Amino acid sequence: MPLFGLGTWKSDPGLVYDAVQVALEAGYRHVDCAPIYGNETEVGQALRDAFDNGGVVRDDVWITSKLWNDAHRPEDVRPALEETLEDLQLETLDLYLMHWPVALEPGIDMPESPDDFLSPDDVSIADTWHAMEALVDEGLVRHIGVSNFSVPKLRTLMGEVDRAPEMNQIEMHPYLQQPEMLEFAAEQGLPLTAYSPLGSKDRPDMMKAEDEPVLLEDPTIVEIAEAHDASPAQVLISWALHRGTAVIPKSTTPAHIRDNIAATELELSDAEMDMIADLDRHRRYLQGDIWTMEGSPHTTASLWGE
Ligand SMILES: NC(=O)c1ccc[n+]([C@@H]2O[C@H](COP(=O)([O-])OP(=O)(O)OC[C@H]3O[C@@H](n4cnc5c(N)ncnc54)[C@H](OP(=O)(O)O)[C@@H]3O)[C@@H](O)[C@H]2O)c1
């Protein structure tokens, strides 16, 4: 998988078509999608047009999508994938991820009450995983993985299934460096993808804390950026790549899209990596509060394993 890719959460219909086209022209060869982002049809059209125009070959682009939480029942997994393939106008996906270790009643995008959740007794993570394994056997997806999984959840799943996850996509940036996960993943040979690598400043206000630090304005990041005549975003992306993780910054602004891929050429020194290592404060921008509402089968401790 190309380690650098384009994120598409919050990339509004009307903007995401151009974003994907600009990205492919700039050299991006990895696009991160999900049906819950509400824009797979437009992403799919941009990909289709790029393939038809001969600008890019399908096999040269890595396309990831995700199974939403309301399709965890084994019988719902294949129909959910088929809808994503249709929207993206693809025969196969390169990678299909279980978006969260959380199951919702069919048809529920976001829970409004505890009744909207399915309990692990109704449908376990392993049940859903087995249905995803069948998609690989059928040739509909090339690889399967998970997202937002903690080390304990990964250990449990790996102990229960034949085919180990081939990816865990999680929030990682200098304020949330996740050293235990990095160590575990290295031991297991499990690749990681860093989401919200720039601090996800455009996420909805209801997901923001009043006092939250702004990663792109961190003085250490800004200082390192100035030393390289680079942007803070480029330093954050380069840092993720130097740690051996994939990284999928979202942008719909053409100048940012081009700026971000140029980060793949930015070399950080060991001293600069050490300076950034000191910034860790275990700060999650995406707390997953909605999954841990009172009465739900999940708590903050069970969700994140901490
Ligand atoms: N698996 C999951 O549960 C999960 C959760 C969150 C995210 N993700 C994936 O990870 C991707 C990235 O995370 P994210 O969308 O949360 O946030 P992010 O990539 O950390 O930040 C996106 C924000 O940064 C801005 N930005 C991008 N490039 C910039 C630059 N060079 N200079 C200044 N600002 C810049 C964007 O604005 P412009 O658009 O104007 O450039 C946008 O406001 C998502 O889009 C999604 O594909 C997955």
Q: Which residue has the tokens 């400043």?
A: 201
Average pLDDT, stretch 132-141? 98
Kindly report, residue by residue over 173-197, the tens digit of the pLDDT. Answer: 999 999 999 999 999 999 999 999 9
Counting DSSP H helices and E strands in the chain, the numbers are: 11, 7
Q: What percent of the chain has pLDDT above 90?
A: 97
Comparing C-alpha atoms, which of 111, 119, 40 is closest to residue 73? 119
Average pLDDT, stretch 152-159? 97
Please state, as a whole number, how many other Cβ atoms lie within 10 Å of the Cβ of residue 125.
20
pLDDT band at 55 (very low <50, low <70, confident <90, very high): confident
pLDDT at 49: 97
pLDDT at 284: 96
Question: Which residues make Cβ contacts (< 8 Å) with residue 64, sequence separation at least 6?
Answer: 5, 30, 31, 32, 33, 93, 94, 95, 96, 97, 169
Residue 260, ligand 1, Cβ within 6 A:
yes
Kindly report, residue by residue over 106-120, the tens digit of the pLDDT. Answer: 999 999 999 999 999
pLDDT at 214: 96
Respond yes or no: is residue 37 known to be catalytic. Answer: yes
pLDDT at 54: 84
Does 13 have pLDDT greater than 90?
no
* Cβ–Cβ under 8 Å, residues 2 and 29: yes
Among 147-156, 201-210, 263-272, which is the least confidently predicted range? 201-210
Q: Across all residues in the chain, what is the average pLDDT?
A: 97
Question: SS3 helix, strand, coil % of the chain, rounded to 5?
Answer: 45, 15, 40
pLDDT band at 306 (very low <50, low <70, confident <90, very high): confident
Average pLDDT, stretch 1-21? 97
Average pLDDT, stretch 153-158? 97
pLDDT at 210: 87
Average pLDDT, stretch 249-262? 98
Residue 39, ligand 1, Cβ within 6 A:
no
Does 86 have pLDDT greater than 90?
yes
Kindly report, residue by residue over 219-228, the tens digit of the pLDDT. Answer: 999 999 999 9
**Atom number of ligand 1 nearest to Cα 32:** 47
Residue 168, ligand 1, Cβ within 6 A:
no
Average pLDDT, stretch 136-163? 97
Distance 236 CA to ligand 1 centre (A): 12
Where residue 122 falls (left for φ over 0; alpha for ψ -120 to 50; beta otherwise) is alpha
CA pair distance 301, 298, nearest whole angstrom: 8
pLDDT band at 211 (very low <50, low <70, confident <90, very high): confident
Residue 233, ligand 1, Cβ within 6 A:
yes
pLDDT band at 41 (very low <50, low <70, confident <90, very high): very high
pLDDT at 5: 98
Residue 37, ligand 1, Cβ within 6 A:
no
Catalytic residue, from 17, 37, 195, 285: name it: 37
Write the residue with the smallest CA distance to atom 42 of ligand 1: 202
Does 286 have pLDDT greater than 90?
yes
CA pair distance 214, 199, nearest whole angstrom: 7
Residue 253, ligand 1, Cβ within 6 A:
yes
Distance 147 CA to ligand 1 centre (A): 16
Phi, psi of 290 (to 5 degrees): -65, -30
Distance 43 CA to ligand 1 centre (A): 16
Distance 161 CA to ligand 1 centre (A): 32
DSSP 7: B
pLDDT band at 239 (very low <50, low <70, confident <90, very high): very high
Write the residue with the smallest CA distance to atom 48 of ligand 1: 195
